[in-house]
Amino acid sequence: MTSINLADRAVDLGEWARRTPDATSEFTRAVREWLAQNLVDEFALLMGKGGPGSEHEFFAERLAWDRHLAASGWTCLGWPTRYGGRGATLEQRIIFHQEYARANAPARVNHLGEELLGPTLIEFGTEEQKQRFLPGIVDVTELWAQGYSEPGAGSDLAGVSTTARLDDDGNRWHINGQKIWTSLAHVAQWVFVVARSEPGSSRHKGLSFLLVPLDQSGVTVRPIQQLTGTSEFNEVFFDDATTEADLIVGAPGEGWAVAMGLLQFERGVSTLGQQVGFARELDALTEMARANGTLGDPEIATRLVRARIRLRAMRANAQRTLDGDAASSGGTWGAAAAAGVASVAKLLWANWHRDLGELAMAVAGPASLIGPTETVEGRRNEIADPEHVELDEWQRLFLFTRADTIYGGSNEVQRNIIAERVLGLPREARA
């Protein structure tokens, strides 16, 4: 197994490198060389920018970087070549995400299109939909938002109340309702929406999966300011908004299956790259503890060691899961166990990252309580926007990771999925 130094300790190719050593090593070299040659000049200034809680940073510049990746064939790696992808193997996709994270390359702006909607269209969409939308995702000329959560539904996707109905001549869908926590809707051109298309239906029945343009009079996007002072997500109001009748993915009333298929793509190979970022954060926090002397505190030292052990366990679980996916198209898991794989992974990384934010505040000590608009002497600094809170990296990590256990399916929802679908326990009573 490849051994990596302290700064890169989370990166080892493990089983992936042993399976196809020649092809894997060649691909690894290609990714590393391209990143080294291209993360220069103006792009070098973007390194480490735009991560969770910092999506506002250099957005236009990161969009240009994504388009630069596209021009060199580094977007949509796993897609079939006939749809503009590279036809990369699972091993190669894992390597790319890991090497991208190792290089501290900027956060991508096209995740929802490339990792979620694109694979969903390839799996469930019509050929006309693929030809219409996939090219814009590949070359990053059209950005997408996700219209799932609602004020009265939250992580309970089956509880959505936004409605969609076909007009009398069957040409257009008319959509009414509200979505919330809609990431990047303020910069996207399109949103995929789960809406109730069958009056009187309930829960997962009667839902449809629609592709809706955001630039129209019937759509209002209202940014929501987060604890971090930024506005990465939004409220989206649909007041008789419309979309073409054929912009429905799957059959009318069968949107639940499409929506669930998309969520499986959400927790794919990119999570290993995410863990490289986690390892970098943990290494930096350990160095801060060493520098300010808190590493000598037995409690702090123990928590840092436990964090590293949990990170390794998280990685082992991800590799085991992906290994099962690679073994066969259906994976090596039984149907019941497969239902809980994504939920286990979400619980592991969300709770780990939240706990790291809390540990960062303990390591920083009293300094973690000093806001950027005041000094130790209590004198206030002038900032251009008093409503926008500027934070240091650890304060931002602590505040933003409060949301890690909520977005993408809350802890409570994930545990219910595991209990009901995997362990066969009685379903939670619903009002």
User: For the purposes of burial, counting CB atoms within 10 Å of the CB of 298, is it exposed (0-12), middle (13-18) or buried (19 or more)?
Assistant: exposed
Residue 424 token pair: 């066969």
Q: Report how far Cα 185 is from the mean position of its chain's Cα atoms.
A: 14
Task: Please name the residue that has the structure tokens 């912009």.
Answer: 247
Residue in 336, 342, 358 with CA at minimum distance from that of residue 408: 342
Residue 7 token pair: 């700064």
Task: Please name the residue that has the structure tokens 């926590």.
Answer: 181
Residue in 85, 46, 82 with CA at minimum distance from that of residue 63: 46
Name residues whose C-beta falls within 8 Å of residue 181's C-beta, 6 or more positions apart in sequence. 149, 224, 233, 234, 407
Q: Which helix (H) or strand (E) holds 127?
A: helix 127-138
Task: Cite the active site residues.
Answer: 266
CA dihedral of 343, 344, 350, 354, whole degrees rounded to 10: 140
Task: Please name the residue that has the structure tokens 């997962």.
Answer: 204
Task: Write the DSSP symbol of residue 338.
Answer: H
Three-class DSSP category at 222: strand
Q: How far apart are CA 113 and CA 133, in angstroms?
A: 10
Residue 153 token pair: 């539904």
Between 270-292 and 393-400, two packed helices, what is the crossing angle to 10 degrees?
130
Q: How far apart are CA 83 and CA 79, in angstroms?
A: 7
Residues 216/188, Cβ–Cβ less than 8 Å: no
**DSSP sequence for 16-80:** HHHHSHHHHHHHHHHHHHHHHHHS-GGGGGGTT-S-TT-TTTTHHHHHHHHHHHHHTT-SSTTS-
